Amino acid sequence: MVATKPLNNTPLVRESTTLQALTAAALLLPGLAAQQPVYAADGDEFSFQYGRYEEGKRDLGGIKSTLQPIEVDSLQSSGRVSLADRVKFAFNFIQDTWSGATPITTAPSSRGGNRPYTQFNTVAGASPLLKDIDGGAIYFDQNRRPLNSFLDGDLGERVSLGVDDRVVHTMSVASPETRKEGNFKLSHEWDEMAIDVGGGISVESDYESRFGNLGARFDFNQKLTTLAIGGSYANSENFSRLSPHFTKSYINSSAFANQIRTLNDGTGDSVILGDREDWSGNINLTQVVNKSALFKLGTGFTHSTGYLENPYKAVTAFFIADVNAIAEGSVTDPDSGFPVTIGDFSSTIPYVGVARAFLEQRPNNRNQFNLTTGWVQHIAPLDAALHFDYRFNHDDWGINAHTFEGDWVQPVGSGWTITPRVRYYSQSQADFYYQYLIADMGSTVSTGAIDPGDNAKLPTQTFSSDHRLSGFGALSGGVMIGKQFARGLRFDAGFEYYTHRGSLRMDGVGEGDYADFDYWVANGSMTVNLSTLGRTLAESGHAHHALHHGAPLPAGIFCNGHMLEKADDFMMGYIYMYGRQDGAILQGSRPVNDATIIANGCEGGSCRTVPTFMNMYMHMLDIMYAPTDWFNLMLMPQFMDMDMNLRQLSGVVPDTKTYDHLHGGHTTGGIGDTLMYGMFKLFDDGQHHVNVGMGFSAPTADVDIKLNRMHGVDGGFIHYGMQLGSGTWDFKPTLTYSGRYDDWSWGAQINGTTRMQNHNQSGFAFGDMVQSSAWGGYNLLKWLSGSVRGVYTTQGAIRGRFNPIPGDCIAADQQTKLSCADTNPQGGTMDHPQNYGGRFWDVGLGLNAMIPDGAFVGHHMSVEWLQPVMDDVNGYQLERSGSLTATWSYMF
Amino acid sequence: MINRNLLFLPWLLSAAAIGGCAEVQPWERGILAKPQMALELYPLQTELRSHIYGSREAASGGGASGGGGCGCY
């Protein structure tokens, strides 16, 4: 699950709006407007941002972990439009996809929480180890500090090598997951006040949050003083999976026994249910201090209640006993493998302990206060602005935090702005933060199995080892570069490096350096100011021109198919596509039974699984520019995310051990391939249009996404269809004809994709594709038309296959572990190249709107549902259910 | 534990400060209207950064809106 900070900074209506609005009055005065550029901060706009977060590797005390650190791809699209003179509506769509390794618990390094494993006689990586194998022991001194020790063969007893205070995280990997959030804000402005109401929802596979907020703003003192008050409420449900592959078998969750439900989906998984509520309120004051300075001050309060835990964090507890009082046979020596007995120890070892992991337990309430203050100062000699902010946080978990940030905003001419920034953060640790716990073993200790009785032996019932609750400091710095173009177009790009250190805490006394880490985050964004452009269009008569530009084309037509008509025209578009497959498994055009799939679906073996569904979501930007009236350039970056699920084929017997992977969903997401087009106008007499496009797809997407290593078995590549792009340079020509007469329109397009490389970096290439379609449309209203389209697509099977990945695998008996030359999955129909491609027939129903006047002049929106009519698949594939395409574009 | 009354101190100070602020007439507000003086110049980036800080630090939230995800990675 990903973080989302409450959206207190969400600039649905930029914070600057107030001041921009009040100063706009000044700009309207004669003499000022000519000198000051009208920066339409309060105008209607559309913006899009991509962000990338990558963490550095953690120090695991010398153990090499092959687990990739956390990485996150984020995209956000936002819009703000005026519904009426003083009514604005703003919306945001945010999507994050993340994966990688993160600490799951913490323990003394002598415990070996990251177990190195070897492949082909070299150490290949480290696996997380949460419980002792067969009750293996750890030793402690009189002060209950962990000891390093060795088994002295001559003396026949275990001898201490001294205290080892080092601590390490145990790392565990998270599969790719995606969070999607939609939120809105509706606001009404009066001369000296404004109110807004907003809300939204955030959805992940294991967490869902709904929220609403209210705010009001009052201007006083000739608008020199602005007071804003706001309140919000969020209700969130947690339903994290406790998989027998991982959490359920190794982590004691008995404290949450009445919140755990077993799923009926045949996986054997459980979910931990937990609801939380967050109420918050704040009040913020902004004051114009003089002609070149602003001051701000604010305070806020948040009350949270319910399940406030992180369900993926565990605390290690050591149950220890006097070595002379342990129950015979209850503890196994980690080196000899035999049960330890009284008399096995030298006097240097007073205590022996066994490790158990517990899901973290936090208090069910939290109250947080914060105080923020800031100053914005214009620096006249450089025409720069210095922004300084300080924030103090205090909560009843014992955490006090200070944040300082300074930004220097330097305009450098020609619309460029450079903003270096530095930030320092320091926090004290929570009252219930522990590196690990030590408890008395009591008369007996359970071996292997999780004993619900263990929980009551713990010295506390609130505990967490989450390093976010430890004492630390963080220093970060970065730069933001912005460029404002004419016609309301703006680009921004930023980079920031962040370092988390225990020693950077304000008083210098923080968590040990084992918990240190760093990350970088980069982002790029584009903002189109629609109000500026709308005025331009209206003034130039361009809007009328745009309305009659070409014939309306169905949304699903590749690359929109139309061209800009005049040299120096720009178009900015956004395309959303959703495609789903579910239903029967087809062989050719016929559904087949499981027995046939088991026997024939997987080349070189028998099938064990098939997909039950697969969803594909794509967000694409479409940036188009006309250098001349007969040639257009297009750039189309794509962002993909996909999810799917599997089922076990009936007749396949799963093994009794937990190695077998016959179920479970997967998610992937991130940057897709990038399309680049040159479009040539071949013929245009106003009624008939013909154009040809020469396109290339650059392999900017990942095609080497792998499944996680589980139970000491390597996952290999996730199947072909879940990779984010083709991985090859592709040539994509199109030929489009469109015509119109009166209220009727029609057209046809043929487009193709041919791979210019035999295989990508992972060893395969998708099949070539040809798609042809023909459509007819009718103007239902002056601005709205409907269309019907027929589509035929043919695509070849995959050429090549995934490069083999040597590693640990399971023998055909599903019991024995082996070293394999190739660990790529072979048990599902989707793992085989011949089960891709085919011939597909679809019918599309679409609507097309071009707004001729009013607030939305110049906008063009279209939507099309593509309904499959017939599939004739290569090999064995899941049936298609349909796809939706929605587009928005704006010409200027 | 800090004295919570201290939290109100800056408000008292600012109330006093507002009284002492210079009068800035509407036609004198040109500098304040410059883009670099905007309280939030990079709203999208601010949101992304806040989101990340919120998933890596304990002190987050307390704002006017709520919502979002867990922050559990």
pLDDT digits (tens, 9 = 90+) for A610-629: 999 999 999 999 989 899 98
Whole-angstrom Cα Rg for chain A: 31
Give CA angle at A160 (A158, A165), nearest 5°.
135
Q: What is the pLDDT of residues A630-671, one digit of tens each?
A: 999 999 999 999 999 988 888 887 655 444 556 667 888 889
Retrieve residue A199's tokens.
Answer: 């809300």
Q: What is the pLDDT of residues A286-301, one digit of tens each?
A: 999 999 999 999 999 9
Residue A23 pLDDT: 42
- Can you tell me which residue has the tokens 């599969």? A175
Of A183, A204, A371, the CB nearest to B67: A183
Of B7, B24, B54, the CB nearest to A371: B7
Q: What is the pLDDT of residues A734-789, one digit of tens each?
A: 999 999 999 999 999 999 999 999 999 999 999 999 999 999 999 999 889 999 99
CA A684 to chain centre: 44
Using a CB–CB cutoff of 8 Å, tell me whether A35 touches chain B: yes
- Can you tell me which residue has the tokens 């153990």? A63
Residue A19 pLDDT: 45
Chain B positions touching A219 (Cβ under 8 A) are none
Q: What is the pLDDT of residues A322-377, one digit of tens each?
A: 887 776 666 766 666 667 666 677 788 888 888 888 999 999 999 999 999 999 99
Q: Which A-chain residues 227-286 have CB contacts (< 8 A) with chain B?
A: 228-234, 236, 238, 240, 278-282, 285-286
pLDDT lower than 70: segments of chain B: 1-22, 61-73
Residue A700 pLDDT: 93
Note whether B43 contacts A19, CB cutoff 8 Å. Answer: no
Q: What is the pLDDT of residues A675-716, one digit of tens each?
A: 999 999 999 888 899 999 999 999 999 999 888 777 667 788
Alpha-carbon dihedral sign for residues A779, A785, A786, A787: positive
Residue A547 pLDDT: 41
Q: Which residues, including other chains, have CB under 8 Å from residue A674's CB and lie 6 or more apart?
A: A635, A636, A637, A638, A697, A698, A700
| Closest A-chain CA to B72 | A1
Best B8, B11, B47, B50 member to test A by mutation, with max A CBs in 10 Å, is: B47
Q: Looking at CA atoms only, how far is residue B25 from chain A in angstroms?
A: 8
Question: ipTM of this model?
Answer: 0.84
Q: How confident is the model at residue A388 (pLDDT cuts 50, 70, 90)?
A: very high
| Nearest CA-CA partner of A578 in A636, A641, A638, A664 | A641
Q: What is the pLDDT of residues A559-591, one digit of tens each?
A: 656 788 788 888 888 999 999 999 999 999 999
Per DSSP, the residues of A677-716 read: EEEEEEEE-SSEEEEEEEEEEE--S----BPPPBTTB---
Q: Which residues, including other chains, have CB under 8 Å from residue A447's CB and lie 6 or more apart?
A: A134, A135, A330, A332, A354
Whole-angstrom Cα Rg for chain B: 18
- Rounded to whole angstroms, the Cα distance separating A874 from A872 reads 7
- Residue B3, amino acid: N
Q: How confident is the model at residue A130 (pLDDT cuts 50, 70, 90)?
A: low
Q: What is the pLDDT of residues A480-513, one digit of tens each?
A: 999 998 778 899 999 999 999 999 999 888 898 8
Q: How confident is the model at residue A147 (pLDDT cuts 50, 70, 90)?
A: confident
Q: How confident is the model at residue A841 (pLDDT cuts 50, 70, 90)?
A: very high
Chain B positions touching A96 (Cβ under 8 A) are 51, 69
Query: A667 and A640 in contact (C-beta within 8 Å)?
Result: no
Note whether B67 contacts A295, CB cutoff 8 Å. Answer: no
Q: Please compute the mean of the pLDDT values over residues A863-867 and round it to a whole number.
A: 96
Q: Which of A107-116, A168-177, A222-231, A332-341 has the highest mean pLDDT?
A: A222-231
- How many cross-chain Cβ pairs, A to B, lie less than 8 Å apart? 352
To the nearest whole percent, how much of chain A has pLDDT over 70? 83
Q: What is the pLDDT of residues A12-68, one digit of tens each?
A: 333 344 444 444 443 333 333 333 333 233 578 889 999 999 999 888 877 766 778
Give CA angle at A382 (A376, A383), nearest 5°.
55
